[in-house]
Structure formats: structure tokens, C-alpha cells
Amino acid sequence: MDRLINIAAPPLDTEEARARREADAPHSPVASFPGETLRLDAGLVLHDLQIAYQTYGEPNAARTNAILVCHALTGDQHVANVNPVTGKPGWWETLVGPGKPIDTERFYVICANVLGGCMGTTGPSSTNPQTGRPYGLDMPLVTIRDMVNAQAMLLDHLGIERLLCVAGGSMGGMQVLQWVASYPERVVSALPIATAARHSAQNIAFHEVGRQAVMADPDWHGGHYLQFGVTPHRGLAVARMAAHITYMSDQALHRKFGRRLQDRALPTFGFDADFQVESYLRHQGESFVQRFDPNSYLYVTRAMDYFDLAAEYDGVLANAFRGSKTRFCVVSFTSDWLFPTQDSRAIVHALNASGAPVSFAEIESDKGHDAFLLDEPELSDITRGFLDSAAKTAGLPVARDR
């Protein structure tokens, strides 16, 4: 019988997986801030902050060519090249690299693992300096604004005063919007993709299902599973399966799998993964738990839920951008029902009302929300054109013809 998802490989917090993560250390520099604190929206203070990051390309002499890329919910700092933990290409290798739209021969690209994450930046699996044990749920909740404030500390550490662009999709796009609201003078241009200025009720609902799956796993132990030497990987896998459906469109699921059966001619009349789509989702769940920490999943989904940029500005989104000189390019995808085009339009309307320069593109695609991670030629063209124009405004040398 093959009714349950099969977590064959070691989950993230076994000794073996820890060793794999530690093997990443030479690849990911970690910025530490001894003696400094980060004040969080939750009203608490974080000590001994650590931020794991990657850079690609070189800063120019005036340090005016930096682009900050912000990752989505379960991304990490490995935006390009090979991710040493998964052995797979970086999550935005379609856009970032030499000669690519975010051209690392021209730009100095920085990407940091978010606060609350599990790839080297302080998160619930980090050691709580007050107890010497992993934080677990004793880690204070973090918000998108907290993530951005931590990134600002990293930029100070790297000697980058101003960003030529801040770019990202989904939760990365939320960080882009927050960057302009919090640090307008530090951002020349902004590229928020497949995102929203506030998380919808429907999206909060999906996240709650995922969190309940994690917390219902008997191995969760109130969030202190590391002390018990186990990981609630089954709950996390179920959470990912449910979430993954929301990252795709109905058309894409139909195109990829339809009602086809997996490795069999007839249904089993049982609960095995008869259908290809079931097998695919199980695979997505099983592979996710090899690279992600269950408590981090709780924290980062919660940060998205709390995001409501207008709420910080008397309920008027335009006020978040008023006076900002940042140039925007807002992008959405036609088949993205998780962050539909109407969410992007709301951002564009607010930017118009605030007087900010903004362009908007809705890209025709049947790939759903995760289209921003896939090879979408129109996204590449828009990104290249937008960055060329931002670079020109900033007085950088023009791009070579390709």
C-alpha cells in the first residue's frame, strides 16, 4: 500500500541534513551584528542577528549598481548558480546571471535569506542566545517590515547606500513595496511581481490550513521538535502539497497531468497515488521537507498574513508612496489566482494617486502564480528594459548589444 506520502530521505534537522546545511557555509557569507539589536514590529528586540546572503557580480566604484533581489515564501539566498543545498539551479536563474536581464556583468546583485528563514539567517531553528537552545516558538514573530529592516542592516554592512533596483515576486514583491515605503531615498527603482499590498482573506485561509497541518503532526511538540530529535515532516509535506496547488493554474495542472494515471493502466480502487497529479503533489511535498524547516514555514507564512501596507498609513495605500521618487514597474500574470491582477492594479492605482512614476504589465500566461519563477520571455524582456532605463537614469554605462 502506498497511501501516505513517503518521506524517504532525511528531513532538514537530522544530523545529516544539518551537515548538508553547514556545508553551505563557505558558499553563503553570514553578516553578524554583535552588540546591535533589531527592534521588531511585535514589540520585542532581537539580539545577535545573523543574515546569510549571496552576492553576484561586482559593485562599481561609486557603488550605484546594486540590485537587491527579495525571495518568496520558501526561497533562499541562492538566486543564481547552483544551490549547494538542493543541488539545483538558483531559483531565478532564468533572470539572474551574466548577460541575463538582471545582468551580473553590469549589476551587483544581492540576495539574503529572510528573517525567520532556515538557510542561515536568524529564524526559529537558530540558537536562542538567552537559552543556548533552538528558539522554536520562542522566536518573536516577524513581519515583512522586520525582514526589510534586517536587509537594510545588511546593506549598511556591505556599504551600499542606495539600490538601483529592488525586485521580487510574491512575498518578495511585498518586501519590494515595503522597501519603498520604509526607505524611499534608498531605492531608485522597484519591480514588484505577482504580489499584493495586503494578503487577502483567501490567502490567509490557505496559510492557516498549512500551519494546522504542521501543528497537527504529533512530531511537532509545540514547536520544540528539535529537542526531541524529530521533525514534523509529514505535516509540512501536506502543507506544501496544499500550497503548491495554489501556485499553479487549473489550465497548467490539466496541461501537465489531465486525468492520466501514474504508472498503471487501471485505477487501484484504493488510495494509492493513482493519478499523476497525486504522484506529482506527493513528490512536491516530499522534496520540500528536505530543504525547509517546519517552524520557519509557520513564521514566514505569518509574516505574509500580517502584511497590509495601507494599514501603516491610515488605510490609504497611496500615502505609503507619497513623495517617493522611486520608479515602479508592476507585473502580474493572467492565470495567477493567488495574487490576481486586481491586486497589482490596486498597487498601480495607489502609485498613480501618489504621483509616483509607474508602468504596469499583465503577462499572458497559463502557468499560474509560479509563472514568475519560470521561463517567461515577456517577463525577461520587461525586466531587461526596465533595468536598462533605470540604469540610464542613474547614469550607468549603457548595456552592450546582445
| Known binding residues for substrate | 240, 370
What is the rounded CA–CA span in Å between residue 368 and residue 79? 21
Helices (H), 289-369: 294-306, 317-321, 341-354
Q: 344 and 173 in contact (C-beta within 8 Å)?
A: no
Q: Which does 19 bind (CB under 5 to 8 A by kind): ligand ACO, ligand HSE, none?
A: none
* Element at 168 (helix H, strand E): strand 165-169
Which of the stretches 145-153, 217-225, 281-289, 394-402 binds ligand ACO when contact is defined by CB under 6 A? 281-289
Size of the site for ligand HSE (CB under 6 A): 8
User: Which DSSP string do the residues of 5-66 spell out, in sequence order?
Assistant: ----SPPTTSHHHHHHHHHTTTTS-EEE-TT-EEE-TTS-EEES-EEEEEEES---TTS--E
Shortest separation between residue 75's beta carbon and ligand HSE, angstroms: 5
Q: Rounded to an integer, what is the distance from CA 142 to the centroid of its chain?
A: 14
Shortest separation between residue 14's beta carbon and ligand ACO, angstroms: 19
Nearer to ligand HSE, 125 or 326 (CB): 125
* 75 binds ligand ACO, rule: CB under 6 A: yes
* 74 binds ligand ACO, rule: CB under 6 A: yes
Nearer to ligand HSE, 78 or 106 (CB): 78
What is the rounded CA–CA span in Å between residue 49 and residue 297? 19
* 352 binds ligand ACO, rule: CB under 6 A: no
* 276 binds ligand ACO, rule: CB under 6 A: yes
Task: Count other Cβ atoms within 10 Å, centred on residue 44.
Answer: 13
Q: Which does 221 bind (CB under 5 to 8 A by kind): ligand ACO, ligand HSE, none?
A: none
Active site residue 170: yes
* 374 binds ligand ACO, rule: CB under 6 A: yes
* 74 binds ligand HSE, rule: CB under 6 A: yes
Grid cell, residue 226, equals: 528539535
> What dihedral angle (degrees, nearest 10) is formed by the CA atoms of 271, 276, 278, 280?
140
Active-site annotation holder among 189, 336, 344, 365:
336
Q: Which of 60, 81, 128, 279 is in the footprint of ligand ACO by CB under 6 A?
A: 279
Q: Which of 305, 336, 370, 376 is in the footprint of ligand HSE by CB under 6 A?
A: 370
* Element at 172 (helix H, strand E): helix 171-182
What 3-state DSSP class applies to 362?
strand
Site for ligand HSE in 101-140 (CB under 6 A): none
Residue identified by cell 548595456 is: 399
What is the rounded CA–CA span in Å between residue 65 and residue 58? 9
Active site residue 324: no
User: Which DSSP string do the residues of 188-250 spell out, in sequence order?
Assistant: SEEEEES--SB--HHHHHHHHHHHHHHHHSTTSGGGTGGGGT---HHHHHHHHHHHHHHTS-H
* 373 binds ligand ACO, rule: CB under 6 A: yes
Site for ligand HSE in 245-304 (CB under 6 A): 247
Angle between helix 294-306 and helix 201-216 axes, rounded to 10 deg: 160
Which of the stretches 68-76, 100-108, 226-234, 356-364 binds ligand HSE when contact is defined by CB under 6 A? 68-76
Site string for ligand ACO, 248-267 (x = CB under 6 A): --------------x-----
Active-site annotation holder among 28, 170, 182, 324:
170
* 73 binds ligand HSE, rule: CB under 6 A: yes
Active site residue 233: no
Q: Which of 81, 128, 287, 319 is in the footprint of ligand ACO by CB under 6 A?
A: 287
Shortest separation between residue 245's beta carbon and ligand ACO, angstroms: 11
Residues making contact with ligand HSE (CB under 6 A): 72-75, 170-171, 247, 370
> Which positions are catalytic?
170, 336, 369
Residues making contact with ligand ACO (CB under 6 A): 71-72, 74-75, 91, 262, 276, 279-280, 283-284, 287, 370, 373-374
